[in-house]
Each structure stands twice: as structure tokens, then as C-alpha cells.
């Protein structure tokens, strides 16, 4: 079985592959490149923020006059970078990496499946993602530049913006289509193609997280699809779904039918975007759970409550979206409802995090690189999640809304949170995919530097936000309270650049380790889950013999067993 694919041509093997592992790797590489690109955009913005109005070193001279003025960034360019940073990081970076790459690569292996339920659909999902990505990137080369109305694309601003916004909408429609195809594939795969004996409560937590994520994508994305279609109509066909009557832009009355509602866009957008933030974090939590179980050499503490929390989290995430809209003037009935749901939804996160922390008790903790990232994830997500609480209450939000406090809040969850989880996953599963382990020393350098500078980037933002500095400001120093905390801004910028430098060991490690001669063992981490039952790297069709599952996912240090791990797929301990 294993050599059947070797006679496929290069195109069939690497470009139009239907093998979930190849697709997973394609997704992974593409997403990492996008992630790096999104970060680069942000590094340019950080220059403007730290040294407003001065020429950007090196890059400034290379950019056209429409974007920079004698090397110094123009406000419109800043807005383009900000909007595209958000969009790229969320929709083209983390989602494809967490779901497309890790989900695709690991889920079928962990459930003992030969492939996804619909391999062809899987390939189409990746292609739609690439097309969407290309459309997004192409928009930078348009006359008016890329979308510049924030990743939230609030109407009416976005409706009256330049052509970049049209590309943004078309790109989004492709990215959404890609996610929908992927999501239904995941659900069917997980429900149908589990190995014999792999009951629901024997599923690794990672698979559970992907299942819930897939449901979120499947049911939350379509409303944004609808909204994107409406906005596209507004821009191209002259309708006015989001334009009220009597708009006057730049002194000119706008020619449109009118009668629309700007708030409608926000409702549809946040109806997606709140579930979306859980899409960003749940797969990360799944990875962290795998790594923690493996490196504590004991079962996860409270596996079942964690699973239930996951389900509750997924379900409730559809009922909190308007906490992003407290300041739009909604009445107290509605804000009360959303404050209550927002407080309720924080409880399942607390339960999951608490279970993970308590899992450390009684363990024998191996500080592998993956584990370091996983351990760092816990307090980092803690900071991010806890800062969500004041935002979830309307009264404090009246001061904090749309300040750097919000930026700090969610970056703590997605950057040292999800990105660390992604790193943990890469260090953990790299040996599975390549047959080589990543270098530990380089890994530790990467971890410690990233850990320090991540905090250096995002902790100051909390204080800036507290001081009242608004986000999306091309030059915050024109406000008195912004000028007062300028020192923090400079510190953030330098940390961001150092953070970029800290990725160099990782990139070197990533490519160099692939060429190492010595191969890793089949099961280098002595793990219990099914993905380690395949040959490394797994052949087309994955398993050489049909796996059968005999026990739960994390049977480490079982009393009486002669090894400290009892794999799911081994019948009896010898």
C-alpha cells in the first residue's frame, strides 16, 4: 500500500494531492508564511507608532509614493496594514494552521482513519483557501491599496472605501467557502471513521476540540457570508443594506437608495466573529491538552468535565456576540442579557484551564520544548481571558472599549496563547511528519526569547489602554494621554522587533532538522494516542494494519503496567 503513491506525478503528489497529510502540510506551510507576512506588516506599523512621522528604515525607501511620504508611512497605508494584519492573522494564519494543518494532519491519525471522509473535498478546501489568500494579497497592488477599514470592515466606512475592500470581500467569500468544506469534512470524519473501540469518551481531547471547532465554523460562518454578499451588493450594485438615508460623505450627499442599517453589518459580523475567536483558541487548547498529558506522564485530570466544558463553550459562543457592541447605544435590556451570557461563558474556560493546571499535580514533568510552550500557554491565556472579564461588563467597557486594552486582551489569547499552542504542536508532531526531531537547544532559545518578548509586546498595551489610548491610531501622541505613555509604545515596538529576531532560531531549526541524518524513533515521546501507531512518516492510507482501540487516550503511569505508558492500540501490556 505504501508505495502505491510513488508513481503519482509530482503534481498529483504535492499540488493536487487528496492525502490528508499532504494537504495538512500544504496548509501548514502556507499558513506559517502568511503568519510571518502578517507579522511583517505589523513590524512596519510598530515603527510608525514608536517614531511617528520618521522614515521607515530600509523598507521605507522601497515603497511607492502612494504609501509613504519620503519613507514615512501615510495614514491610509497604516490603516491598510492594520486591516490586513488582522485579516491575515485570523483568517489566513491561525485558522488554516490550527484547523487546516493540525486538524488535517493529526485528526485522521488520532482516530485511526485511512484519510478524511471526503478527500477530494479536502483538496478543494485547500484550493479555495489559496485562491482567497491570493485575492487578499493581490489587493495590495490595487490603485487604492488594500482594504483599510479594519478587519471588522464596519459599514458605512467599508462601503465607501476603495476597491481593496471589494477584493477583501471576495477573498473572504473564498476563505469562508474553504472553511465550510473543511468543517463538514471534519465532522463526518470524526463521527464516522473512528477506529473500532474508539468511543466518544476515548477520543483524545484534541479531536474533541476539532469537532466543536468544526461545528462553530459550519454554523457561524454563513451569516458572515450573507453579510459579505450584502456588502458586495452595496459596493457594486448600488444597494444600501448598510447605508441609511441622507449620508453626506466629504460634503457630498451619497447617491444610494438609503433605508439600510449600519448596525446590521455589525450584528452579522460579530455573530460570526465571536464564535470565530473560539475557533482560534479551541484547537490550541486541544494541542495543549495532548502535550500536557504526554509530558506529565499521567492522565489529564478531569477529562470529562473538560469535554463537557468544550461543548458548553461551543454552544454558548453563539449567544454573546453583542458584547462587542455595548457602545453602539444598545438598550440596557440587551446589554444585561449579553453581560450575563458573557460572564457565563467564561466559566467553561476557567474549568478547562483549571483542569489543565491541576493535571500537573502528582506528575513527573518533562520539560521538553513542546511542554515549555504548553506551560507558558496556561498563564498567558489566563491573562488574556481574565482581561476579558472587565471588557465583558458594559460599565468598565465604557472606558476600555476600542483602546489598547482590548488589543492587549485578545493578543494575549491569540499570540502567546494560540501561537504558543501552535509552536507546541509543531515541536510535538514534527517527528511524526518528518521522522526527525527538532533541535532542543535551538528550541529552548526560541521559547525563552519568544516568551519574554511576547510579554514585552503585550503587557505595556494593557497600561496604554488603561490610560485611554485608542486603537487604530496612526499617531497616538497627538493626544495628551497618548503622549504620556509613549515610552510604553516604544518598548512595545522594540519588543516586537526582538520577537521577530527570536523566530530566527525556529526557522533555522525547522528547515535544518528536516535534513538531519539520524531518524527519530517511531514513538519518540512515548505517547499513547493512535497517531504514533503508524509508521513514520505515515504512508498513504496511514495504518499498516487496521488499528483497534482498547482504552482511553491518556493512560500514562497505569498502576501495575511495566511501562509508564499504555498505548490505546496495544491490547495487553506484555
Partner 1 sequence: MSESDVEHVRQHIKVYVTVFVALAVLTVVTVGISYLHLPTGFAITLAMVVATVKAGLVAGYFMHLISEEKVILWVLLLCAAFLFVLFILPLGTQIGNGPLWPL
Partner 2 sequence: MSVVIPYQVEPHPVTGVTSGKLGIWLFLASEVMLFGALFSSYVLLRVGAAVENWPTGVEAGLNVPIGTANTLVLITSSITMVMAWASLKMDNLAAFRRYFGTTIALGLVFLVVKAFEYSDKFGHHIFPATGWPEAGDPSVFYGLYFTLTGLHALHVILGILVNLWLLFFGVALWKTDKERLTGRIEIAGLYWHFVDLVWIFLFPTLYLL
Partner 3 sequence: MNEPEYGWWLPPNVSVQGDDIDTMINVIHWFMLALFVGWGAFMVFCLVRFRERPGHVAVYKPIKAGFSKWLEVGVAVAEAVILAFFAMPVWAKIKNDFPTQDNPVVIRVVAEQFKWLFHYPGQDGKFGRTGVEFYADDNPAGLDFDDEDGFDDITVRGLHFPVGRPVIARLTAKDVIHSFKMPVMRITQDLIPGMEIPIWFEAKSTGKFQVGCAQLCGLGHYEMKADLIIESPEDYQRWLDEEHAALGLDDY
Q: Which stretch binds partner 2 (CB under 8 A): 95-103, 264-272, 322-330, 498-506?
A: 264-272
Task: Quote the Cα angle for 258-166-247, to 5°.
Answer: 25
Check residue 323 for interaction with ligand HEA (CB under 6 A). yes
How many whole angstroms separate alpha carbon 404 and alpha carbon 235?
A: 31
Check residue 274 for interaction with Cu ion (CB under 5 A). yes
Asked if 353 and 385 count as a contact pair (C-beta separation under 8 A), the reply is yes
Residues 6+ apart with CB under 8 A from 187: 211, 214, 215, 218
* CA atoms in the 13 A half-sphere facing the CB of 515: 4
b/e sequence 341-350, b meaning 16+ C-beta within 10 Å: bbeebbebbe
Contacting residue, 18, 19, 30, 39, with ligand HEA by CB under 6 A: 39
Least CB distance from residue 507 to partner 3, whole Å? 29
> What 8-state DSSP symbol labels residue 299?
P
Check residue 477 for interaction with ligand HEA (CB under 6 A). no
Check residue 243 for interaction with ligand HEA (CB under 6 A). no
Asked if 411 and 496 count as a contact pair (C-beta separation under 8 A), the reply is no
- Which candidate, 104, 121, 111, places its Cα nearest to that of 29? 104
Which residue's CB is nearer to partner 2, number 56 or number 279?
A: 279
Which 197-236 positions form the footprint of partner 2 (CB under 8 A)? 218-223, 225-227, 229-230, 233
Check residue 215 for interaction with partner 1 (CB under 8 A). yes
Which residue's CB is nearer to partner 1, number 266 or number 529?
A: 266
Which 498-557 positions form the footprint of ligand HEA (CB under 6 A)? 499, 503, 506-507, 510
Which residue's CB is nearer to ligand HEA, number 462 or number 527?
A: 462
Contacting residue, 53, 61, 134, 245, with partner 2 by CB under 8 A: 245
Task: Quote the Cα angle for 335-341-346, to 5°.
Answer: 125
Binding partner of residue 274 among partner 2, partner 3, Cu ion, none, CB cut-off 5 to 8 Å per kind: Cu ion
How many whole angstroms separate alpha carbon 429 and alpha carbon 422?
A: 10
Residue 573, SS3 per DSSP: coil
Binding partner of residue 527 among partner 1, partner 3, partner 2, none, CB cut-off 5 to 8 Å per kind: none
Residue found by looking up cell 456588502 in the block: 231
Asked if 563 and 556 count as a contact pair (C-beta separation under 8 A), the reply is no
Binding partner of residue 333 among partner 2, partner 3, partner 1, none, CB cut-off 5 to 8 Å per kind: partner 1
Contacting residue, 123, 281, 287, 307, with ligand HEA by CB under 6 A: 281
Dig out the grid coordinates for 101 from the structure.
494543518
Binding site for Cu ion (CB under 5 A): 274
Binding site for ligand HEA (CB under 6 A): 32-33, 35-36, 39, 42, 46, 82-83, 85-86, 89-90, 93-94, 150-152, 277, 280-281, 323-324, 342, 345-346, 349-350, 353-354, 357, 378-379, 382, 385-386, 388-389, 391-392, 397, 401-402, 406-407, 409-411, 413-415, 419, 457, 471-472, 496, 499, 503, 506-507, 510
Amino acid at each position: 500500500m505504501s508505495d502505491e503513491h510513488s508513481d503519482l506525478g509530482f503534481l498529483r503528489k504535492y499540488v493536487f494531492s487528496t492525502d490528508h497529510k499532504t494537504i495538512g502540510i500544504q496548509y501548514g506551510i502556507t499558513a506559517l508564511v502568511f503568519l510571518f507576512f502578517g507579522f511583517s506588516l505589523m513590524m512596519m506599523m510598530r515603527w510608525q507608532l514608536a517614531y511617528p512621522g520618521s522614515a521607515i528604515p530600509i523598507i521605507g525607501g522601497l515603497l511607492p509614493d502612494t504609501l509613504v511620504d519620503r519613507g514615512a508611512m501615510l495614514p491610509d497605508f497604516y490603516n491598510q496594514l492594520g486591516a490586513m494584519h488582522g485579516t491575515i492573522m485570523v483568517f489566513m494564519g491561525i485558522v488554516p494552521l490550527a484547523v487546516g494543518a493540525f486538524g488535517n494532519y493529526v485528526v485522521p491519525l488520532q482516530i485511526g482513519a485511512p484519510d478524511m471522509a471526503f478527500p477530494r473535498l479536502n483538496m478543494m478546501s485547500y484550493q479555495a483557501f489559496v485562491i482567497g489568500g491570493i485575492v487578499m494579497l493581490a489587493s495590495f497592488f490595487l490603485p487604492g491599496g488594500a482594504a483599510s477599514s479594519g478587519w471588522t470592515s464596519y459599514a458605512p466606512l467599508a462601503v465607501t472605501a476603495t476597491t481593496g475592500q471589494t477584493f477583501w470581500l471576495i477573498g473572504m467569500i473564498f476563505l469562508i467557502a474553504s472553511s465550510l468544506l473543511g468543517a463538514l469534512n471534519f465532522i463526518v470524519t470524526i463521527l464516522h471513521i473512528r477506529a473500532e473501540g474508539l468511543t466518544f469518551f476515548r477520543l483524545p481531547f484534541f479531536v474533541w476540540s476539532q469537532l466543536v471547532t468544526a461545528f462553530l465554523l459550519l454554523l457561524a460562518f454563513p451569516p458572515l457570508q450573507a453579510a459579505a454578499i450584502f456588502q458586495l451588493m452595496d459596493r457594486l450594485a448600488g444597494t444600501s443594506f448598510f447605508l441609511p438615508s441622507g449620508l453626506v460623505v466629504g460634503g457630498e450627499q451619497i447617491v444610494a437608495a438609503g433605508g439600510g442599517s449600519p448596525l446590521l453589518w455589525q450584528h452579522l459580523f460579530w455573530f460570526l466573529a465571536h464564535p470565530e475567536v473560539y475557533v482560534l483558541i479551541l484547537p490550541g487548547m486541544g494541542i495543549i491538552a495532548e502535550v500536557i498529558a504526554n509530558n506529565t506522564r499521567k492522565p489529564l485530570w478531569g477529562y470529562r468535565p473538560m469535554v463537557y466544558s468544550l461543548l458548553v463553550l461551543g454552544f454558548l459562543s453563539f449567544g454573546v456576540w453583542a458584547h462587542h457592541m455595548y457602545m453602539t447605544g444598545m438598550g440596557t435590556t440587551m446589554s444585561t442579557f449579553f453581560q450575563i451570557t458573557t460572564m457565563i461563558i467564561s466559566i467553561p474556560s476557567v474549568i478547562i484551564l483549571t483542569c489543565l493546571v491541576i493535571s500537573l499535580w502528582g506528575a513527573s514533568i518533562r520539560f521538553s520544548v513542546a511542554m515549555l510552550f504548553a506551560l507558558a500557554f496556561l498563564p498567558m491565556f489566563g491573562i488574556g481571558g481574565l482581561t476579558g472579564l472587565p471588557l465583558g461588563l458594559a460599565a468598565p467597557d465604557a472606558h476600555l472599549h476600542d483602546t489598547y486594552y482590548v488589543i492587549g486582551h485578545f493578543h494575549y489569547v491569540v499570540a502567546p496563547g494560540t501561537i504558543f499552542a501552535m509552536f507546541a504542536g509543531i515541536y510535538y508532531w514534527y517527528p511524526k511528519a518528518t521522522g526527525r526531531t527538532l533541535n532542543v537547544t535551538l528550541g529552548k532559545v526560541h521559547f525563552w526569547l519568544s516568551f519574554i518578548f511576547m510579554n514585552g509586546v503585550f503587557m505595556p498595551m494593557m497600561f496604554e489602554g488603561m490610560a485611554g489610548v485608542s486603537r487604530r491610531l496612526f499617531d497616538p501622541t497627538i493626544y495628551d494621554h497618548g503622549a504620556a505613555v509613549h515610552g510604553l509604545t516604544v518598548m512595545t515596538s522594540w519588543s516586537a522587533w526582538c520577537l521577530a529576531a527570536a523566530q530566527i532560531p525556529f526557522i533555522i531549526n525547522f528547515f535544518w532538522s528536516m535534513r538531519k541524518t539520524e531518524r527519530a524513533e517511531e514513538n519518540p515521546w512515548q505517547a499513547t494516542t493512535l497517531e504514533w501507531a503508524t509508521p513514520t512518516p505515515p504512508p498513504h492510507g496511514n495504518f499498516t494494519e487496521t488499528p483497534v482501540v482498547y482504552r482511553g487516550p491518556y493512560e500514562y503511569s497505569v498502576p501495575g503496567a511495566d511501562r509508564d505508558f499504555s498505548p490505546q492500540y496495544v491490547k495487553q501490556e506484555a
